[in-house]
Each structure stands twice: as structure tokens, then as C-alpha cells.
Amino acid sequence: MLAQRAALFKSSGTAAARIAAKAAAASGRDIIDLTAGEIWSELAPSVRVGAIAAINRNLNRYTDTVGLLKLRQALAGKVSAETAQPWSADEIAVTSGAKQALFNAAMALLSPGDEVLIPAPYWTTFPAQAVIAGGTPVFIETRNSNYVPRLVDLAAAVTSKTKAIVVNTPNNPTGAIYDRGTLAGIAQLAIDRDLWIIFDECYGAFAHDPHTHHSIVSVAPGVRDRTLIVNSFSKSLALTGWRIGYLAGPAPVISAVKALQSHTTSNPNVIAQHALLHFLERGDPAFQLQLRRQVAKARSLGLSILSALTLVPRPAAQGGFYFYLDLTELQRCANRNGRDINADDVVNALLMEAGVATVSGTTFGDPAGIRLSYGIDLELLDQGLRRLTVALNAWN
């Protein structure tokens, strides 16, 4: 018999979509997989050099639970530059990816029954972790406001139980980037109603012209002592497997996180920590530029192919590396022809009819959207999106 708590653990929907794509490919079908939450890329040279140097130095021991002091100092420097405020090492915890930073934040902040405002569509881990920590997710619809929450909706959802607001910009899955006005408004709401902000900026390296990513702390410095910044190198350096992320926030929260982490995973992998320290000390501008160019090129190729869609509006794709398609019109059209379809049906049909794997919006709390990753090889992306466009247009 499992603990009652185990009923709360539902495997991530994005992982399920990846598994379905792999199973279809394993059965011999020609599948183009647009489900990945990562960028196909070579390893960053600075990371490779830093890791090899650490191995050659025979490093094999535990580090400080929340990361090497030098790495926390370097990250404090990074966060200081990004927020235009000074940060110190005791305000930083290095974690095994941003996912652990978010989990630590949920466990440190939420008491049973606390509510967390989460704009929807949402990355599926936000509500899952809130629930595991005993909290209650409260979703704020953003479909009718270009996937950015309206302040009136956020304010109306605040109750005496509300503890935190999740702000994820650039957004997974929608690709929306919150502008300064929105960030300032959310910050003011948090101050007025005494709330925490969990600020996930994992896709901040990919803001597409003319959009700019802003840290909420740089926009509204007064919100700093109630903000937990979550970031990682998984997306920005195409380093998902290395599992290095961080949490930046007030020192008492970081101490609680340190105690928690000391009983869960201890320190993040020592070699990966040294590799990222080397990256932060030496920089790798050529690699970063090339990665950003690769993503920008994939985005413009994708947008030009998707412009041929007849019943689906052009996705905004302001940041990150996802196209989020709005299926509302397609669903209406199917409805007029006597068919009732949701995003899962569209994803299944695309997999079966076109050999293209995508992620259903139902995973993100939205039955009228699908997410396509453009972090993949350009030729495959080209083929995959052409197949998808033909298939969706045929439903017209």
C-alpha cells in the first residue's frame, strides 16, 4: 500500500507526450518529435573544459549543500547584474535544475491550505509541486489577454489564504513575455496583499525581437524581499542533463532550503558545479550567440511555415522556443461539421496521420491549445511543421 500522498504524484504530461512519440517511432513509424523541452545543440565549450578540469583535479567529494561558495558568489554577481541590485552568496542556493529550486520554494513557503495563483495555460510542474507541498493552485485564465494575466483577474483571485503568485516569463507553454507594466502591477499587488512571488525566468535568454525579458526585481526593486527568483542553465546553455539551477531570495528562505536540501539530495553534482563556475568566470559569448541565433532562425523558419495555416492564428512566440497554437477556430469548424474535438484529439491525429508529435494543451490546463517545440534540428523542424500544416488545413 502506498501513502495517500502518492495519489498526488501524477507523471508530467510533457514526459508522457515524449514517451508516446518514442513508442510510435519504436514501432517503425517515421515520427518527427516536436515535444522536447530542450534545444538540440553541441555542449558549450566552456562547460566541457570546466568539467574536464574538475575531473582531472580528482574532485569527488560533497560540496556545501547549496553549492560551492565560489559558484554562489558568481551567481550572486549574475543576479546582481540582472536585477541592478547587489546580491550575496547567502541569498543563493544552487539546485539540481530549476525544478528542484521550485520544489524547494514550494516546500519552504506553503503551509497546508495556502493558495498559489498560477496563470493558465501553465507549465504542469507548478500546480503539481504546490499540491505536493500541501497548497492549492488557483488558476488565472490568460487566453483572452494574449496569455498574460490581467491584473484585475489576479487581484480578484486573492483571498486570505493566498500565499504566492507564480510568474513565468518568457512563458512555457505560451511563449508570452510579460511587459514592464504587467510586472510592475504584479509586484504592487504582491506588496499590497502581502504575497510572495515565485519568478521563473528559465527561458529569459530567449526573448525575440522586439520583446525584452525583464526581471521583476529590476522593474520593481521594492518587491525583492518577497521574491524568489528561479533560473537554471538547462535552457540558456542547452544543458538539461547537467542539472544545475538556482534559487535567489531572502537569506532566511535560503537557509530553510539548505536544511531541506540537506535531507533530500545534498549538493548538486560537483563536476557540473565546477563546469558552470568555469562558464561564469570565463564566459562563452560565441556559444551563447550561436545558440540564440539557432533558436531565432528556427523561430522565423517555423513562423513562415505556420503562416500557411488557415484556421489557426500565427503564434506570438515572443520568447523561449515553443509555438503555442490556438485551436479555437479549428474546434468551432469541427463542431459545425458535427465533430467535437479537444487538444488531445488533435495531438493524437497529428501523431497518427502526420507522424508529428506535439504536446496537448490539456497538459497545461488548456483544452484548446497545442505546444510545438522549435528547439530541434532545422531540417526536421521544416519537415515536421509542413506535415502539421497540411494535416491541420485538411480539417478545414
Minimum gap (Å) between residue 236 Cβ and ligand PLP: 10
- Binding string, residues 119-138; x marks residues near ligand PLP by CB under 6 A: ----x---------------
- Binding string, residues 235-254; x marks residues near ligand PLP by CB under 6 A: -----x----x---------
> Per rule CB under 6 A, is residue 37 in the interface with ligand PLP?
yes
| CB neighbours of residue 13 within 10 Å | 19
243 φψ region: left (φ > 0), alpha (ψ -120 to 50), beta (else): left
Residues in Cβ contact with 59 at an 8 Å cutoff, skipping those fewer than 6 apart: 270, 271, 274
SS3 content of the chain, % helix, strand, coil (to 5): 50, 15, 35
**From 85-93, 232-240, 273-281, 350-358, span contacting ligand PLP (CB under 6 A):** 232-240
Give the residue carrying C-alpha cell 531540417: 379
Residues 152-211 that bind ligand PLP (CB under 6 A): 168, 172, 200, 202
> Per rule CB under 6 A, is residue 12 in the interface with ligand PLP?
no
> Per rule CB under 6 A, is residue 269 in the interface with ligand PLP?
no
* Of 15, 38, 25, 120, the residue nearest 359 (C-alpha): 15
| Residue number, 99 or 387, with CB nearest to ligand PLP | 99
Residue from 21, 74, 98, 106 binding ligand PLP (CB under 6 A):
98
| Residue number, 87 or 322, with CB nearest to ligand PLP | 322
8 A C-beta contact, residue 183 and residue 214: yes
**How many residues sit close enough to ligand PLP to count as binding (CB under 6 A)?**
13
Residue from 36, 66, 99, 327 binding ligand PLP (CB under 6 A):
99
**From 20-28, 95-103, 107-115, 255-263, span contacting ligand PLP (CB under 6 A):** 95-103
8 A C-beta contact, residue 93 and residue 229: no
Burial of 52 (0-12, 13-18, 19+ CB in 10 A): middle
* Of 271, 222, 254, 278, the residue nearest 89 (C-alpha): 254
**What is the number of the residue whose Cβ is closest to ligand PLP?**
97
| Residue number, 13 or 245, with CB nearest to ligand PLP | 245
Residues in Cβ contact with 260 at an 8 Å cutoff, skipping those fewer than 6 apart: 104, 107, 108
Minimum gap (Å) between residue 91 Cβ and ligand PLP: 19
Minimum gap (Å) between residue 272 Cβ and ligand PLP: 11
* Of 249, 225, 226, 256, the residue nearest 162 (C-alpha): 226
Minimum gap (Å) between residue 340 Cβ and ligand PLP: 30
CA 317 – CA 298 distance, rounded (Å): 11
Minimum gap (Å) between residue 396 Cβ and ligand PLP: 32
Q: What angle do CA 59, 60, 63 make, to 5 degrees?
A: 90
| Residue number, 172 or 294, with CB nearest to ligand PLP | 172
8 A C-beta contact, residue 369 and residue 327: yes
Minimum gap (Å) between residue 96 Cβ and ligand PLP: 8
**From 63-71, 96-104, 136-144, 336-344, span contacting ligand PLP (CB under 6 A):** 96-104
8 A C-beta contact, residue 360 and residue 370: yes
Q: How far is CA 267 from CA 24, 33, 61, 244, 286, in A?
A: 37, 33, 10, 10, 30
Minimum gap (Å) between residue 395 Cβ and ligand PLP: 29
Minimum gap (Å) between residue 122 Cβ and ligand PLP: 9
Cell matching residue 286: 560565441
**From 42-50, 97-105, 254-262, 366-374, span contacting ligand PLP (CB under 6 A):** 97-105
| CB neighbours of residue 137 within 10 Å | 18
CA torsion, ordered 201, 221, 246, 149, to nearest 10 deg: -30
**From 82-90, 94-102, 146-154, 254-262, span contacting ligand PLP (CB under 6 A):** 94-102
Minimum gap (Å) between residue 113 Cβ and ligand PLP: 25
| Residue number, 35 or 168, with CB nearest to ligand PLP | 168
Which residues make up the interface to ligand PLP (CB under 6 A)?
37, 97-99, 123, 168, 172, 200, 202, 232, 234, 240, 245
